[in-house]
Structure 1
Amino acid sequence: MPQGLRIGYIVPQFPGQTHIFFWREIKALEAMGHEVHVFSTRKPPAKLISHDWAGEAMARTTYLGRVNPIFALSAVAKLTPKGLPKWLLTEPRAFSKDVLISLAAADRLHAAAKRLNLDHIHAHSAARAAFIAALTHHMGGPRYSLTLHGPLSDYGPGQRFKWRDASFATVITQKLMDEVHEQLAGDLPDRLLIRPMGVDTTNLKRAKPYQPPEHGRPIRIFSCARLNVVKGHQDLMSATRQLIDQGVDVRVEIAGEDDHGGTGYRTQLEDHLKKLRLQDHVKLLGAISNVEVKAKLEQAHLFVLASWHEPLGVAYMEAMSMGVPTVGTDAGGVSELIADGSTGYLVEPKNPGQLARTIRSLAGDPDALLRLSSAGRAHIEANFRAELGAEVLVEEINRLRG
């Protein structure tokens, strides 16, 4: 039996409200017999730390800290002689700024990698975490890899530098893979794999069989995503207003918080909710734990997330794993997860009218809801288990060592 690996695992601002996927993958790697040493840039805001596993996660995470000019200057000497001048001369000014911000953290990671004798470092981001992993490698640290979770434009400057010396990379959708090849051709690692994130299907399963809404009773809709305009919560509210005006009794709960801990986009959603007179029908729950999310999914008749753009969507996976009929938008890579009319339904983003019509149609078709419940669960079990990502990571690291 191969010896267990020692893996460095970097996640930005861990553990945030959307980070349960990373925790599942860490646990899957450990169940396979590997050591996982978790690193992060810094802790998330306190109001965004909601999961029941967050305390354990923070206790075992090494936080690499903010920029420190003195440490950054001392770290420059550890870079390979061929590197820094060329990077600074050929990349945009924003790249140089990110180098200076990341150098001290890379120095700390380099020291930790040497102390822990890490075999490999994986950055679950193409932003600063990937910068830190790449700089650590140039200081003489372990080989590294990265995962792209969204459009390259979301992850800052220096993408060619981050990808150029990676041993391999995973990308969560074919749509993003096409973008990577188009924008970074000539600076990509030899091994690029499509590997979506996944969910713990063993834990995320129903305690009781799914039941469609009863005639004359409210339709319970659950949504879960951070509060940001691109998540389309305002469109779900508008669709809810239309349904109520048409005589359809709908109760909506939205879990998630904005990136400022409740003082940001949440205030605009609250104003929208009041304007639509939905206080009795829509509730903003804030950031809730994974245990509470599971309980809400168990109670829901429908899961709805009306994103304007979604690279893939762990929230959809969780709902489908729980056998909750799911409505998403045909935006980003969602169509690579949800087959419209088969494993869920897709509507146009920014179209509350179509969303309302889809919800109304499904609410009146219990057979369709039962079919979606079963098909969605089967699809996630077959293709989006958390263990699959862990298995790919181990296979690729062992291939490098082989």
Structure 2
Amino acid sequence: MRIAMISEHASPLTVLSGRSTGGQDTHVAELAAALVDRGHEVHVYTRRDSTTLPGTVATPDGYEVLHVPAGPPRLLPGDELLPHTGEFGRWLAGHWRDAWLPDVAHAHFWRSGLAAVHAGRRTGVPVVLTYHALGTAQRRLRGVRDTGPPGRAGYERALGRAADRVVVQSQDEIGELVRLGVPRSRMSLVPAGVNERIFRPDGPVAPRDPARPRVLTVGRLTESMGFEEVVRAMPAAPEAECVIVGGPPAEKLPTDGSARRLTALARSCGVADRVRLIGGVPREELSSWYRSADLLVAAPWHEPFGLTALEGMACGVPVIGTDVGGIADTVIDGLTGDLVPPRDPRALGTAIRRLLGDNVRRFVYATAALDRIRSRYSWRRCAEQLSLVYEAVATVARPATAAA
């Protein structure tokens, strides 16, 4: 099949350049590569900005990246991209009519969905949508600090009804969309995958003190990732160290506000000698940090999917996660790891102390987690399931409308 993937703000080329932090850009890059492996022809459309070259880039993985001229050719924050979405959609429609007509379009994130639906209606191309993150959840999490456009929930509701199929990544997302007003009948649950070439049990291990248990946590240094709760939990495990991987490079941590707040919190909790901030590391090196850990803590307040938990599981590391979003699907409580309530350092500390003190349980969790990754969360399996979704929507003929 010919598959168009629309990822307006997140280019898969950041993954190939080593600049990715493991977000939507990584998802799109690895999904596109897996679809090519299944014999599909894949074009990825992303917005041209000052960091990209115009035209088409052929990737080593066999898919092409096309840069769409929509808005000024410079980097724009997310809240400034919405006015240029119509231009993005019109360019797509023209390109699909004149140069390369796909069998199906898969949009990633709601703004990409707006552009894809616009182009799909003018060319007859069916549209599949993955939200990746929902505005209603962001609003609930951030409250008055949410900077998303006020009408985002309305756009997301309309898109859920306009798209031919909505691909959801967790049971929690299904409930969120049903409450938003998107029919359950329009949804297909297809969990994303984890790169088993990078994240695996064997391979290099980051240096560590063998006499001190290591608790690892990974992610962006934002409040909602739950790093403060992890630091507050560490007094319950007085023999262990806590290693935090993420944020800016190590040399920039002393001037980073979030890193400084975590360091100050560690001092106030009496654990400054046992909490280490490593900073951001290249994705290819991240697995060595997972393999160095006795357990991984994934403690966000909300998480649409929970990639870090999957990566740790794929490296054979037992996981303690918060019972939210995608983590509640990926970590089976008492079988592949432990789940605790979000924003509860007391419960988290108890779980850390308990698991560090039980070598047999950690081994059982790690073994079961690795089996779960291999049976359910490979990119090969994800591409197989999505291929069935694409084939189903592509069989429904839809006439194109006149260009606006």
What TM-score do the two structures reach when normalised by structure 2?
A: 0.77
Deviations along 1:338-391, whole A, 9 cap, x unmatched? 111111011121121221221111111111111111011111211211222222
* Partner of residue 85 from structure 2, selected from 93, 98, 102: 102
The structure 2 residue matched to 1:116, chosen from 78, 81, 100, is 100
CA contact (8 A) 2:3 2:104 kept: yes
Structure-2 residue corresponding to 1:177: 174
Partner of 2:191: 196
- Given that residues 307 and 349 in structure 1 are in contact (C-alpha distance below 8 angstroms), is that contact kept between their aligned partners in structure 2? yes
Is the partner of 2:299 in helix, strand or coil? coil
Give the Cα–Cα distance (whole angstroms) in 1 for the partners of residues 391 and 351 of structure 2.
47
Q: Distance in 1 between matches of 2:224 and 2:122?
A: 38
Percent identity between the aligned chains?
Answer: 24
**1:251 and 1:189, CA in 2 relative to 1: closer, same or farther beyond 3 A?**
closer
State the shift of 1:67 in Å: 3.4
Deviation at 1:110, TM superposition (A): 2.3
Matched, 1:252 2:256: no
CA deviation profile, 1:30-86 (whole Å, cap 9, x unmatched): 11111211122467999xxxxxxxx979x9533435536xxxxxxxxxxxxxxxxxx
Distance (Å, rounded) in 1 between the aligned partners of 2:274 and 2:70: 43
In structure 1, the residue matched to 2:41 is: 35
Shift of 1:306: 1.2
Q: CA deviation at 1:130?
A: 1.0
Change (3 A) 1:369 1:180: same
| TM-aligned CA distance change 1:136 to 1:184, over 3 Å | same
Which residue of 1 is the match for residue 17 of structure 2? Answer: none
Quote the residue 1:355 is aligned against: 348
Contact 1:21 1:314 in 2 (8 A): no
Q: 1:132 aligns with which of 115, 118, 131?
A: 115
Q: Which runs of 5+ in 2 are unaligned?
A: 15-19, 53-58, 73-79, 139-147, 396-404
Deviations 1:201-251 (A, max 9, x none): 3542211799xx99x81111221122211110111111124433xxx2324
Contact persistence 1:110–1:141 (CA under 8 A): no
Q: Out of 211, 220, 237, which is 1:217 matched to?
A: 211
Instruction: Please give the secondary structure, in 2, of the residue aligned with 1:18.
Output: coil
| 2:21 corresponding residue in structure 1 | 17
CA shift in 2, pair 1:66/1:7, >3 Å:
closer
SS at match of 2:123: coil
Q: Deviations over 1:263-297 (max 9, x none)?
A: 56444334434544544422323332221111111
Partner residue, 2:226: 232
Equivalent position amino acid for 1:132 in 2: A
Counterpart in the other structure of 1:161: 158
Change (3 A) 1:365 1:43: farther
Q: State the TM-score, normalized to the length of structure 1.
A: 0.77
Match of 1:73 in 2: none
Gaps of 5+ in 1: 47-54, 69-96
1:335 and 1:180 mapped to 2: Cα distance? 17
- How much is the aligned-residue C-alpha RMSD, in angstroms? 3.2
Alpha-carbon shift at residue 257 of structure 1 (Å): 4.9
Paired amino acid for 2:101: N
Work out the number of aligned pairs and report it. Answer: 351
